[in-house]
Amino acid sequence: MNIALITTAVKLGAVIANYCEVTQLHQDSNGKLNGACVKDNLTGEEWNVKAKVRLVYLFPALHS
């Protein structure tokens, strides 16, 4: 199921990242979240991500 979700997201234009963490959240003037600063934990590279939709996915083992 996880691979199917990722594959579909990529086909629809999503960019997938692994081993990354959010270091800062960005808000618009109304306080609505609209992006984040993300850090790649393997390379140390950081970049800003803008988003219209926010999706939180937790590792399935956390729900057991």
* 61: pLDDT strictly greater than 80: no
The structure's pTM equals 0.62
Give residue 33's pLDDT.
87
pLDDT-derived band at 53, boundaries 50, 70, 90: confident
* Separation in Å, CA 40 to CA 4, 43, 62: 24, 6, 22
Give residue 59's pLDDT.
64
* 2: pLDDT strictly greater than 60: yes
Give residue 64's pLDDT.
53
Is residue 26 within 8 A of residue 33, CB to CB? The reply is yes
Question: Can you tell me the mean pLDDT for 32-59?
Answer: 86
